[in-house]
Amino acid sequence: MGYGELIIRSYDPQYDRTRVEDFERKCEVGPAKRVFLFTDTLGDPICRIRNSPIYKMLVAELGNQLVGVIQGSIKLVTVHKPPNDLAKVGYILGLRVSSLYRRRGIGSSLVIKLEEWFIANDVDYAYMATEKDNKASVKLFVDRLSYVKFQTPTILVNPVSHRMSRISSNVELAKLKVEEAEAIYRKFMSSTEFFPIDIGNILRNKLSLGTWAAYPRGESWGGVPSSWAMLSVWNSGELFKLRLGNAPLSCLMYTKSSRLIEKLVPCVKLPCIPDFFRPFGFYFIYGVYREGPLSGKLVRTLCRFVHNMASKSKDCKVIVTEVGGSDTSRLHIPHWKSLSCPEDLWCIKALKNEKKNSLHELTKTPPTRALFVDPREV
C-alpha cells in the first residue's frame, strides 16, 4: 500500500498550529511502562523553543496527513576542548512520530533534515536528551545516527505542598540584581560545561523569577562569606502545562484521601501528593552553585525558599532541578525519588569533520565538570 512521498518542511503557524496541537495531544511523553506526562502547550506548539536565540520546527507529511514533528534551537556555549572553549551547539527536542507510521524512517528523516539546518547555521555539535531506558530513542540516535553518549544528568523533582517549609534563622537570604547575578555566574560558572554565553538574556527573560543567594547570618554578602550558595528560578508553567497519565488507581485514591485527611486532621503528617491529574505548572531551578563547608545546607535552604515561593502560586505543583551526574549538589536538593530520574541521557554528535577528534576526547573523559542546564530547553 502506498503512502505518497514524505515531505518535510518548516512549521507554518497559520496552517499548522491546530494540526500540531491535536497531534501533540495524542502523543505521550515518558516511559509507557510507568506513568507518562501529557503536555498542554497552551496554543503555542513552539513554546519550548521560542525563548532560544535561534530556533526552528519541522513537520513531516504523507499526503495531507501530519505524521511527525521535531524542534531545534541553536546557541553558543562553553565546551571544554582546546583550542577553542566555545562552540555553537544545536539542541534537538520534541521528536514525535505518529504511532501509525513508525518504523518507516520518518524519525531519522526529521533528525537529518534538522541537522542540515544546523550545518547551514555553522553549528559545531548537535545534541539531544532522553531517558536512559528509552530504547527506541537510544537506538535511533546512537545506533543509526552516530550520536555518542555524553552526559547522564540527574533530574530531581520535588512536589509542592501548601505547608510552608522552615527557613533556618542562621541563614541570610538575598535576592540579587540581574547585573550582579550575571557577573557572579560569569566569574564562577563560565567554565561549566554547556554554560550559555547569553546568560544575561536568560536572567533578563520575563520567565526568570530571580536569583537568590544564601550565606551564614552575621556575615556580609558584600565581603566574601565563609560559605555561600546561589540559584535562579524559571517559571516553566507560563509556557506549558503538564498532566499525569497512566497512573494506577491506587495513586489517584491516595492523592484524594491524603488531601481529605490533611483537611480533617491537620495534625496528621501524612505526605500529601499534589493533584497531578489536572494540568499544572512547575518551577525549574537552574544555575545552582555553592562554595564553602556549609554550602550544602545553604543550597537546601534556598530550595526550601523556592518551595515556599511556589506554594503561593496558583498552579505550580512541582519544582524541578537538573544537575550533572557527578555534581554533589544533588545530595542537598530536596526531591522525591519516585518522581525523579537518576540518570537522564545526553547524546552528542560532531557536525564538522574537524570537531570529530575533539568529540572523542570530550565523550571519553569522565564528566567531572559541573553541567549548566539551560532553562529554555526544559
Torsion of CA 330, 268, 245, 235, to 10 degrees: -50
> Does CATH place domain 6-152+344-377 in 1.10.357.10?
no
Walk along the chain (378 residues) in steps of 10 and give the mean pLDDT of each run. 80 95 75 58 91 97 94 93 80 94 94 98 96 91 94 93 91 98 96 94 98 97 93 95 62 44 44 70 96 97 98 92 91 90 92 74 62 93
The pLDDT of residue 243 is: 76
**Cα separation, 254 vs 251, whole angstroms:** 5
The pLDDT of residue 41 is: 86
The pLDDT of residue 245 is: 61
Question: Do residues 15 and 57 make contact, with C-beta atoms less than 8 angstroms apart?
Answer: no
Q: Do domains 6-152+344-377 and 157-244+267-332 have the same CATH topology?
A: yes
Please state whether the predicted TM-score (pTM) of the whole model is above 0.85. Answer: yes
Cα–Cα–Cα angle for 244, 69, 345, rounded to 5 degrees: 60
Q: What is the CATH number of domain 157-244+267-332?
A: 3.40.630.30
Please give the biggest Cα pair distance in the chain. Answer: 76
**Cα separation, 238 vs 120, whole angstroms:** 32
DSSP state of 371: B
The pLDDT of residue 27 is: 72
Antiparallel, parallel or unpaired: β 36-40 and 54-62: unpaired
For the chain, the domains span 6-152+344-377, 157-244+267-332
The pLDDT of residue 326 is: 85
The pLDDT of residue 152 is: 92
Question: Do residues 255 and 270 make contact, with C-beta atoms less than 8 angstroms apart?
Answer: no
Question: Do residues 242 and 277 make contact, with C-beta atoms less than 8 angstroms apart?
Answer: no
Query: DSSP string of 103-153?
Result: SSSHHHHHHHHHHHHHHHTT-SEEEEEEETT-HHHHIIIIIIT--EEEE--
Query: DSSP string of 171-196?
Result: EEEEEEPHHHHHHHHHHHHTTSBT-B
The pLDDT of residue 36 is: 52
Question: Do residues 68 and 59 make contact, with C-beta atoms less than 8 angstroms apart?
Answer: yes
Question: Do residues 123 and 81 make contact, with C-beta atoms less than 8 angstroms apart?
Answer: no
